[in-house]
Amino acid sequence: MTLLWIALLPLLGVLVPVLTARRGRHFCSLATALLPALALLLTLAQLPALNAGEALRFSVAWIPGLGLDLAFRLDGLSLLFNLLIIGIGLLILLYAHYYLSPEEPFGRFYAYLILFMASMVGIVMSDNLLLLWLYWELTSLSSFLLIGFWSYRSDARKGARMALAVTGGGGLALLAGLLLLGNMVGSFDMNVVLASGELIVADPLYPVMLILVLLGAFTKSAQFPFHFWLPHAMAAPTPVSAYLHSATMVKAGIFLMARLHPAIAGSELWSVIVPLVGIITMLYGAWFALIKTDLKAILAFSTVSHLGLITVLLGIGSPMAVLAALFHILNHATFKAALFMSAGIIDHETGTRELGHLGGLRRAMPVTALLTTVAAAAMAGLPLLNGFISKEMFFTETLATPVLGGLSWIMPALATLGGVLSVAYSLRLVYAVFFKSPRQEPPKSPHEPPHLMRFPVELLVVICVLVGIFPAALATGLLGLATQAVLGEALTFYLSVWHGFNLPLAMSFVAIVAGIALYWRHPYLKSFAKSFQPVDARLVFESAMQCLARRAESSLARFDGGSLQRYMGLLLFAALVMGTLGLAGMATLTGSRGNQPLDGVLLLGAGLLIFGGIGTVLTHRHRLISLLMLSVVGLVVALTFARFSAPDLALTQLSVEVVTMILLMLALFFLPQKTASESSPRRNLRDMALAGSLGTVIASLNYAVLTRDNDPISSFFMENSVPGGGGHNVVNVILVDFRGFDTLGEITVLALAGLAIFKLLNRLRLFMPHSDNEGRVWSPDCYPMILTTISQAILPLALLVSAFIFLRGHNMPGGGFIAGLITAVALILVYMSRGVEWVQYRLDFPYQPVAIAGVAIATLTGLGSWLFGKPFLTSAFGYFHLPLVGKFELATAMLFDLGVYLAVVGATLMILANLGKVTTVHRPIKQPESSDTERSTKEKS
Cβ neighbors of 421 (< 8 A, separation 6 or more) are 283, 286, 287, 289, 290, 305, 515, 518
Task: Please list every residue from 260 through 279 that binds another protein, using CB under 8 A.
Answer: none
User: What are the beta bridge partners of residue 57?
Assistant: 73
Residue 377 to residues 326, 418, 671, 851, Cα–Cα distance (Å): 20, 15, 79, 73
Touching another protein, residues 665-684 (CB under 8 A): 667-668, 670-672, 675-676, 678-680, 683
From the list 93-101, 220-228, 507-515, 557-565, the region that binds another protein by CB under 8 A is 557-565
Residue choice 167, 616, 875, 937 for contact with another protein (CB under 8 A):
616
Binding mask 762-791 for another protein (x = CB under 8 A): --xxxx------------------------
Contact letters (x/-) for another protein, 791-830, by CB under 8 A? --------------------xxx---x---x---------
Query: Of the candidates 753, 777, 795, 807, which one interacts with another protein according to CB under 8 A?
Result: 753
Residue 712 vs residues 586, 594, 645, 709, 717: alpha-carbon distances, Å: 21, 18, 17, 9, 10
Residue type present at position 170: G
Whether the Cβ atoms of residue 60 and residue 7 lie closer than 8 Å to each other: no
Nearer to another protein, 713 or 785 (CB): 713
Min dist CB 865 to another protein, Å, is 20
Least distance CB 876 / another protein (angstroms): 19
551 binds another protein, rule: CB under 8 A: no
Q: CA 140, CA 133: separation in Å to the nearest integer?
A: 11
Task: Specify the residue, 31 or 572, whose C-beta has the smaller distance to another protein.
Answer: 572
Q: Does 95 bind another protein (CB under 8 A)?
A: no
Residue 510 binds another protein, judged by CB under 8 A: no
Identified binder of another protein from the candidate list 175, 244, 346, 633, rule CB under 8 A: 633
Q: Is 595 exposed, middle or buried (0-12, 13-18, 19+ CB in 10 A)?
A: exposed
Nearest to 31 by CA among 90, 115, 118, 95: 90
Q: Is 648 in the site for another protein (CB under 8 A)?
A: yes
Smallest separation, CB 562 to another protein (Å): 6
> In angstroms, what is the minimal distance from the CB of 597 to another protein?
7
Stretch that binds another protein, among 384-392, 426-434, 542-550, 612-620 (CB under 8 A): 612-620
Taking the C-alpha atoms of residue 436 and residue 424, their distance in angstroms, rounded to an integer, is: 15
Q: How many residues does the chain have?
A: 941
Distance in Å, CB of 842 to another protein, minimum: 25
Residue 563 touching another protein (CB under 8 A): yes
Between CA 298 and CA 309, with CA 303 as vertex, the angle to 5 degrees is: 130
- Angle between helix 522-530 and helix 503-520 axes, rounded to 10 deg: 70
Q: Which is nearer to another protein, 538 or 810 (CB)?
A: 810
Task: Assess 909 for contact with another protein (CB under 8 A).
Answer: no
State the nearest-atom distance from the C-beta of 800 to another protein, in Å.
Answer: 22
Site for another protein in 875-904 (CB under 8 A): 904
Q: How far is the CB of 778 from another protein (least distance, A)?
A: 17
Among 219, 241, 302, 640, binds another protein (CB under 8 A): 640
**Scanning residues 332 to 351, which ones bind another protein (CB under 8 A)?**
none
430 to 29, 165, 298, 359, 609: CA distances (angstroms): 32, 34, 12, 9, 92
* 119 versus 626: smaller Cβ distance to another protein: 626
Smallest gap from Cβ 73 to another protein, in A, equals 52
| Contact in structure between 355 and 348 (CB atoms under 8 Å) | no
Among residues 754, 814, 854, 906, the one that binds another protein under rule CB under 8 A: 754
Stretches 240-248, 280-288, 743-751, 838-846: which one binds another protein (CB under 8 A)? 743-751
Taking contact as CB under 8 A, which single stretch among the options 12-20, 234-242, 393-401, 560-568 is the one that binds another protein? 560-568
Q: For residues 90 and 755, which CB has a smaller minimum distance to another protein in the complex?
A: 755
* Residue 717: CB minimum distance to another protein, A: 6
Size of the site for another protein (CB under 8 A): 113
- The nearest distance, CB 625 to another protein, in angstroms, is 11
**Which 8-state DSSP code applies to residue 189?**
B
What are residue 835's DSSP bridge partners?
none
Task: Please give the Cα distance from 525 to 428 (Å, whole number).
Answer: 12
DSSP codes joined into one string, 774-835: TSPBPP-PPPPHHHHHHHHHHHHHHHHHHHHHHHHTTTSS--HHHHHHHHHHHHHHHHHHH-
Q: How many CB atoms lie within 10 A of CB 400?
A: 14
Q: How far is the CB of 227 from another protein (least distance, A)?
A: 47
Contact 869, 910 (CB under 8 A): no
Q: Which is nearer to another protein, 714 or 931 (CB)?
A: 714
* Rounded Cα gap, residues 935 and 927, in angstroms: 7
Q: Taking the complex as a whole, how short is the minimal distance between the CB of residue 769 and another protein, in angstroms?
A: 12
Q: For the window 572-611, what string marks contact with another protein as x by the rule CB under 8 A?
A: x----------------------xxxx---xx--x--xx-
- 931 by Cβ neighbours in 10 Å (0-12 / 13-18 / 19+) ranks as exposed
Q: Are 289 and 425 in contact (CB under 8 A)?
A: yes
Contacts of 624 (CB under 8 A, 6+ apart): 668
Residues 684-703 that bind another protein (CB under 8 A): 687-688, 690-692, 694-700, 702-703
CA 835 → CA 333, 729, 921, distances in Å?
77, 38, 12
Any contact of residue 8 with another protein (CB under 8 A)?
no
Stretch of residues binding another protein (CB under 8 A), selected from 350-358, 361-369, 490-498, 721-729: 721-729
Member of 60, 713, 786, 867 binding another protein (CB under 8 A) = 713
Give the contact letters, 914-933, x = binds to another protein (CB under 8 A), - = no.
Answer: -x------------------
DSSP conformation letters of 665-728: HHHHHHS-SS----S-HHHHHHHHHHHHHHHHHHHHHHHHHHTS----SHHHHHHHIIIII--S
Closest Cα partner for 139 from 34, 274, 9, 243?
Answer: 243
8 Å CB contact between 82 and 1: no
